[in-house]
Amino acid sequence: MRIAGATAVLCALVSACSVASAQVSNDVVKIGVLNDQTTNLSNMSGPGSIAAARMAVADFGGTVLGKPIVIVTGDTISRPDLGSTIATRWFDNEQVDAIVDVPYSSIALGIQNIAKDRNKIVMISGAGSSDLTGKNCTATSFNWTWSTYSYASGVVNGLGDKNPGNWFFISVDSSGMLKSVEEASDIVKQKGGKITGLVKHPLNAGDFSSLILQAQGSKADVIALANTGSDFVNTMKAAKEYGILNGKQKIVGLLTFIPQVHAMGLNDLQGMMNTVSFYWDLNDETRAWSARFRTAFKGEFPTEPQAGVYSAVMHYLKAVQAAGTDETGAVVRKMRELPVNDFMSKNVKIREDGQVMRDAYLMQVKAPGESKYPYDYYKLVETIPGERAFKPLSESECPLVKK
């Protein structure tokens, strides 16, 4: 009894009991950054997301519960089968506790199920299909940064309450972007507009001439681009070649990231509307974090998915610390219990379907004369509160949502 009492006093004095009794599997907390590092979306997430994850680990102190934090990385090269292979190997053989980023919804949907079967955590920042928190939602997955619904509704509703007119869509043939087309089309029709056509193209397509000619020939008021990366840039180049950028048809982006704006330039994109979940120049906190990111990553300006990776890794580590363990169930409970607080968002809750309820921002690309310094590309049109940005729970197909 005296020994037990002395031990209790010692623990109280040195505040070591919580760490000593903490349960960390394999004596390491291991996080996998899984993304496209070499193909179409490499500048949207890729090596920049890896840098963001490592920034978060360094800012957290490099350890949690007295154990080291390790970042491992994998390149899907845009292939769902390779993404699934890497995730399976990480979970089954390499003791990875959580996966983060995962662009391409087709890859993310598969990894959600792999993580579910193994009771592991996945925090999706690169992909955004609303099916991730809809019919395919799981108890251990989180949609961290954006969704097809938030971006589509932001653009369509940003045109005002008037009839949005006739819309024509050019979309990459992927589950995530076709979901965005579906959701944008529904909102257009609800507001009295019409859909005049949809053409699809494969990922990393080379020639967009025929697609642009179909869009031009449709006489649609709005041409909506449901693609990103090099596909978006090449679509816009074709639109410029055929005179659309100087014509009456308006072009909007359903998934446009700042590297694509930079690649095209303000002369060609001025006035284009798009929705974002993060912009480096939004406020003092985003500017300060972005300056640190640029120091860490070759002077590059961060994208939404890269910022979201930092946010997700930091929140995950806070949850591990608060739970006193890296056991999935305990960590998930703490992730849902703790508000998300960082340079991106303040006191944001995670909804029961796994959606992080951060605000979205409707932006308009500046004219060249409005831009005062490098990457000064957007002007804020509207801040869209999270409760309005994401699909209402009343419309959710997520089996975790209580009806």
- The pLDDT tens digits for 354-382 are 999 999 999 999 999 999 999 999 999 99
What local confidence, expressed as pLDDT, does residue 380 receive? 98
What local confidence, expressed as pLDDT, does residue 315 receive? 98
161 band by pLDDT with thresholds 50, 70 and 90: confident
| Same domain assignment for residues 60 and 165 | no
Token pair, residue 22, equals 């903490």
What local confidence, expressed as pLDDT, does residue 15 receive? 39
In sequence order, the 6+-apart residues with CB closer than 8 A to the CB of 182 are: none
Mean pLDDT along residues 240-266: 94
| Same domain assignment for residues 138 and 163 | no
Residue 10 has pLDDT above 90, yes or no: no
| pLDDT tens sequence across 38-63 | 998 899 999 999 999 999 999 999 99
DSSP for 167-181, written as a single string: EEEEEESSHHHHHHH
344 band by pLDDT with thresholds 50, 70 and 90: very high
Mean pLDDT along residues 279-301: 98
CA angle 71, 73, 79 (to 5 degrees): 150
* Helix pair angle (209-217, 229-241), 10° resolution: 60
CATH assignment at residue 192 = 3.40.50.2300
Mean pLDDT along residues 96-100: 98
| pLDDT tens sequence across 140-151 | 999 999 999 999
Residue 1 has pLDDT above 80, yes or no: no
Neighbours of 366 (CB within 10 A): 18
Cα–Cα distance measured from residue 278 to residue 280, given in angstroms and rounded to the nearest whole number: 7
Token pair, residue 274, equals 């798009």
Token pair, residue 268, equals 């060609």
| Same domain assignment for residues 268 and 206 | yes
| Same domain assignment for residues 137 and 35 | yes
What local confidence, expressed as pLDDT, does residue 107 receive? 96
| Same domain assignment for residues 48 and 181 | no
- The whole-chain average pLDDT of the chain stands at 93
Number of folded domains that form the chain: 2
| pLDDT tens sequence across 100-131 | 999 999 999 999 999 999 999 999 999 999 99
| Same domain assignment for residues 38 and 138 | yes
Domain of residue 219, residue span: 152-276+360-389
CB 63 within 8 A of CB 69: yes
CB 354 within 8 A of CB 132: yes
| Same domain assignment for residues 123 and 161 | no
What local confidence, expressed as pLDDT, does residue 40 receive? 84
Residue 65 has pLDDT above 70, yes or no: yes
What local confidence, expressed as pLDDT, does residue 204 receive? 87
Residue 336 has pLDDT above 50, yes or no: yes
Q: Residue 12: inside a domain, yes or no?
A: no
What local confidence, expressed as pLDDT, does residue 206 receive? 83
Instruction: Say whether 242 sits in a helix, a strand or coil.
Output: coil
Q: What is the pTM of this model?
A: 0.92
| Same domain assignment for residues 271 and 306 | no
| Same domain assignment for residues 245 and 172 | yes
